[in-house]
Structure formats: C-alpha cells, structure tokens
C-alpha cells in the first residue's frame, strides 16, 4: 500500500474527465493506473501516467493484471455507461479497494451507484452548472466548492453590510444559513480558522463560509 506522500490511483474510463484526473494526479507526483477499452484514449495518457492499460474494466482478471488491487483510490469515470460502471464498482469492491469515487451523468445513475456502494458519486457537469449559476447571481463569490446538494463552502469578499461589525452581532446562521469557518485577514494568503466571536470584519477581508446551498441566492453580498 502506498504511503500518504505517494498514493496510487486507478482511473478507469478515459474520457475528458478521466484524462484530466489522471494527468493532474500524475503531474502531482502520484502513481496512476489509467484504464480504458480504447487504445487511442490509453495512448493519449501513456507518456504521462505510471501505467496506461487498454482493458475492459468489467473483466476483474484484467483489472488484477493491471495491478488495480494495489490502488488506494479508484475513480470510475464512465458516467454514461451504467452497466459498465456498476460492474466495475463491484469488481473494485471484490478487489478490496476502500475508496471508490464514481462519475454519474444524472440523478438516476447517481442513485444506483450510491446504492451499490460507491463511496463518493459526483456529477461534474451538473455541479459546474450550479457553481456557474451561483457565481453569476453573486459576482462577489471568489471561489466555491459544493460538498453536496445541501451544503456549500465558498470564499467571498466581505460584504459592505458586514464591515466594521463583530461576527457575533451578524447572526449569520439565523439570517442567511451561513457559518464563517475562516478569514483571509486583509486579503492575505493565510486563512485564519480560529475566529473569535468578537472579531470585527474589515473591508479588505475575505471570508470562507459554509452555507446552505438552497439559501445562497438570497445572500446579500453587496
């Protein structure tokens, strides 16, 4: 098993999403086993990842030959092929992979993949669409990361309404469904996470907040 500094990732399915994951992990110095049935897809990452294999992931013996059983994390990115996704995930479970991340193209697929035991199921296109819509509604949002359909973490520039006020006086949880979990004081690089209730928010602060996704559009960030 790989250590924390050098983990092994199996990326199964080399569409645009899978290739991006495989190449990014490889560029970060991680060991990557990239698998796809398409020789062209496999060739596209062969010079980048540790091991590029042309194989059908529905065949558990081929996964074994590729060394997938030694992976710390498996990313299954065949979001449009439900049968292949399901069989691959079951194979990975049989091989003892403890952390399986799967890509789903819609809510129905997501439901199925969660039910069969994928540890995390993501919908990249849907989630990016949500992020775009939220950032358009609130242009002062600097960055946003959606944990799930109900919970979002984002960085915002301190709204004018919050300037020169102590955190405890804003009642953000009650009014907006928001908790401040970090502050880049004066826009510095370091995020301070030990926020005291009497901290007074400054005009040039950047706030990292956890928010109820359904209430983000109602945030007054002016």
Question: In the predicted model, is pLDDT for residue 203 greater than 80?
Answer: yes
- Going along the chain from its start, the domains and CATH numbers come out as 8-125 (3.40.50.720), 132-218 (3.30.70.1450)
Q: Where are the alpha helices (H) located in the chain, listed in sequence order?
A: 16-27, 39-45, 60-66, 82-94, 107-115, 124-137, 167-170, 172-176
**In this predicted structure, what is the pLDDT of residue 4?**
45
Mean pLDDT of the chain: 87
When pLDDT is cut at 50, 70 and 90, the band that residue 189 belongs to is confident
Distance CA 192, CA 50 (A): 37
Model confidence over 131-159: pLDDT tens digits? 777 677 666 677 777 666 667 888 888 98
Query: 132 or 218, which is more confident?
Result: 132
Which of 130, 4, 17, 129 is closest to 75 using CA atoms? 17
**In this predicted structure, what is the pLDDT of residue 155?**
87
For residue 52, the surrounding DSSP H or E stretch is strand 51-54
Query: Exposed, middle or buried by CB within 10 Å (0-12, 13-18, 19+), for 202?
Result: middle
């Amino acid at each position: 098993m790989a250590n924390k500094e050098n983990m092994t990732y199996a990326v199964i399915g080399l569409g645009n999403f899978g290739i991006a994951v495989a190449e990014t992990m490889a560029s970060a110095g991680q060991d990557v086993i990239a698998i796809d049935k398409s020789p062209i897809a496999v060739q596209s990452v062969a010079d980048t990842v540790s091991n590029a294999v042309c194989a059908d992931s529905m065949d558990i013996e081929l996964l074994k030959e590729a060394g997938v059983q030694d992976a710390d994390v498996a990313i299954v990115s065949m979001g449009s092929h439900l049968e292949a996704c399901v069989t691959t995930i079951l194979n990975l479970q049989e091989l003892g992979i403890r952390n399986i991340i799967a890509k789903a193209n819609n809510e129905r697929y997501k439901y199925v993949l969660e039910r069969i035991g994928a540890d995390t199921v993501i919908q990249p296109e849907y989630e990016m669409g949500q992020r775009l819509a939220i950032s358009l509604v609130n242009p002062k949002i600097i960055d946003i990361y959606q944990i799930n359909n109900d919970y979002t973490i984002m960085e915002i520039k301190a709204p004018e309404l919050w300037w020169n006020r102590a955190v405890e006086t804003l009642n953000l949880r009650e009014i907006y469904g928001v908790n401040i979990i970090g502050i880049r004081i004066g826009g510095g690089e370091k995020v301070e996470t030990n926020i005291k209730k009497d901290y007074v928010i400054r005009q040039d602060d950047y706030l990292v907040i956890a928010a109820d996704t359904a209430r983000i559009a109602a945030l007054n960030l002016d």
